[in-house]
């Protein structure tokens, strides 16, 4: 089924009509959680669990050049961090500019040799992507600078930097 020209994503349990006057093309619910949201044919919000199920948000009709991924959890808490890195690497393979921003417990993923996520982030940097860290959270986590993945950029005033990236640099942003 399609709604006002937007394709129904795989795994969509509800594909509800939205008044055309709102400018929203479709509203998709995945497992009764908020899912992909399309405005004027552009997918503007996709939770990570849906993006991986879809094989990447590049399957959505929206066009974008850059993708920002904010990670606030360790891989040990849930799979979001690992999925986010896989998604980021896939986006880079498809020619997108990708940046990661690690804050809160997410900074633990930036410890060199700490696991698959760290390996993936190393790959992101090697392939030309950016990995930013919140200085405040690195300090709070007690991570010595020399243990961080080479090439990560630790930022003071992290929230200000993050807002600049979200509003002025990245076309799409995923939080996980």
Partner 1 sequence: MLEEKSAKIKKIEKDKTLSILLLRGPYVSEYAEIASTLALTARKKGYKVNMFLYLDGTWLQHIKEFKNFSNPGDWLKRAMRKGVTVRACQRCSSARDLTPDDTIKGIEQSGLYSFVDMLAESDRVLTFIG
What is the DSSP code (8-state) at residue 146? G
Q: Which two tokens stand for residue 63?
A: 């066009």
Judged by CB under 8 A, the residue of 8, 41, 89, 104 near partner 1 is 104
Give the footprint of partner 1 on residues 37-56 (CB under 8 A): 37, 39, 44-49
Residue 166 sits in the site that holds partner 1 (CB under 8 A): yes
Interacting stretch for partner 1, rule CB under 8 A, among 57-65, 89-97, 101-109, 111-119?
A: 101-109
Judged by CB under 8 A, the residue of 63, 78, 94, 147 near partner 1 is 78
Strand partners, 81: none
Sequence-distant (≥ 6) Cβ neighbours of residue 65 within 8 angstroms: 96, 97, 171
Among 37, 8, 9, 33, which residue's Cα sits nearest to residue 23?
37
Instruction: Confirm if 61 and 38 have CB atoms less than 8 A apart.
Output: yes
Residues forming the site for partner 1 (CB under 8 A): 18-19, 22-24, 27, 33-34, 37, 39, 44-49, 72-73, 78, 80, 103-105, 159-160, 162-164, 166-167, 173-176
């Amino acid at each position: 089924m399609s709604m006002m020209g937007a394709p129904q994503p795989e795994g969509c349990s509800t594909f509800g009509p939205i008044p055309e006057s709102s400018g929203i093309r479709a509203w998709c619910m995945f497992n009764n959680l908020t899912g992909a949201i399309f405005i004027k044919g552009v997918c503007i919000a996709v939770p990570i669990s849906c993006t991986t199920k879809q094989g990447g948000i590049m399957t959505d009709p929206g066009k974008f050049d850059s993708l920002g991924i904010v990670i606030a959890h360790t891989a040990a808490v849930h799979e979001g961090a690992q999925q986010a890195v896989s998604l980021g690497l896939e986006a880079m393979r498809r020619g997108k500019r990708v940046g990661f921003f690690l804050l809160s417990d997410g900074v633990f993923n930036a410890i060199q040799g700490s696991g698959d996520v760290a390996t993936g982030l190393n790959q992101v940097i090697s392939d030309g992507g950016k990995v930013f860290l919140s200085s405040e959270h690195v300090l709070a986590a007690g991570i010595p600078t020399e243990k961080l993945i080479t090439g990560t950029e630790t930022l003071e005033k992290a929230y200000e930097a993050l807002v600049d990236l979200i509003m002025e640099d990245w076309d799409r942003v995923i939080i996980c």
